Amino acid sequence: MAVPVAPTAQPHPSPEATETSETSQASEASQAALLGLFPPGSALAEDGGLVIGGCRATDLAERFGTPALIVDESALRDRARRYARGLAARWANSRVAFASKAFPCTAVYRLLAEEGLSIDVASGGELTLALAGGVDPASLVVHGNAKTDAELRMAVEAGAGLVVIDNFDDIDRLERIVPGSAEQPVLVRVTPGIRPDTHAAVATGQEGSKFGLTLPQARKAIARLRGSDRLRLDGVHVHIGSQILDTDPFARAVEAVAGLGAFAVYDLGGGLGARYTYDDHPPSVEEYLDTLVGAARRVLPADAQIVIEPGRSMVAEAGVTLYRVVTVKRGEPTFVAVDGGMGDNLEVALYGQRFEATVVTRVGGGDPCHLVGRHCESGDSLSTGVRLRDPRPGDVIAVPATGAYCFSLSNNYNGALRPPVVFCADGDARAVVRRETYDDLLRRDIA
């Protein structure tokens, strides 16, 4: 069912329709800067309302309620193609595996599988969702620093293409679980001792990380696996963290694993940062690939397969969360409270991540406000000092760049109902995950 939109949508009001005053020019600049954080193709309708995926934000909020996670389907497909084609053009024997912990939604798995991507899963739940989304098991890369027997058995029985060895216990478990007549391909995850400039909670490649094996430990695991009759060592894996805004650490990680020897597969992980705010300037996909493949050409075998695992940078930009303003407390600061918060966006509380926001009918500009949620917690904040133009109860607020981890980390704090996921494309909108109900909250109770 289509959500109607104004006949013409454009990146900003036409010059003919706007005054040439400095105030008007500043407003246009503010709108353009803000739209740059939304999915590519987002625009303003003739009346100034925000349009995402060809759909009016106000109509989406009315039809699907708030809070709601809106995904621009075309933007997500374009991002997947940009990664896959960009990597293939630089290194023919390669594949892109979506790090699905960033957005483990059946519809997202299905869409990215349609685009030919492999999938990285880090739990039995993600494995189940991926298979439900039609993902080819042979394309799966199975991760986890504490994989249980049950999860490893699920992976083996499903025919997962690669299992990443994170510790020596993984080897013990797999050698018990893999049938004697079978052979499970594996990679060894290496912790290279590289600490990128990112939040401590999402840094994974430094000394003391809970993930992977140090270089000396990795050499021992490699030697042991080469003697296994049930596990086939295909290569090595390295991942140094998330929300990394500099390409140099990625090159150093490639150089670190190259010293372990020649292998058929080098999984170089992910970690490229996403743009959340005006001040964020992550490398482009192309700059990231140039650095990664440039390092690979210098130190890796030319006939090896390269795998990369983008997660946050694959999905963040495609997602927008819509809220409705419940109350406004004017003062110093002015608090604008919405009907969601840390139940649907834990990035702020966990990582101190900042988000921008706008009233969807008055885009850009305004006075600094403290955008807060409805949960009984002082830490339930969505953004401080965010400019909102004359916010009022009932207004719809849009927060861009929420496609990564917001769905993954959504929760029922204060009995909150987790929001729906809505896909938009070319003016059509459809829910792919429904909003939870109070009956859902009671469903697991045992009378």
What are the residue numbers of the active site? 376
CA–centroid distance for 376 within its chain: 27
- 80: amino acid identity, one letter: A
Q: Which residues contact 232 (CB under 8 A, 6 or more apart)?
A: 183, 184, 185, 186
Contact 281, 315 (CB under 8 A): no
Q: Cα(14)–Cα(176) distance, rounded to whole angstroms?
A: 67
Please give the structure tokens belonging to residue 53. Answer: 């995926």
Closest CA to 371 of 404, 406, 396: 396
HEC profile of 73-131:
HHHHHHHHHHHHHHHHHHCCCEEEEEEHHHCCCHHHHHHHHHCCCEEEECCHHHHHHHH
Contact 395, 350 (CB under 8 A): no
- DSSP 3-state of 437: coil
Helix or strand run (H / E) with residue 188: strand 184-191
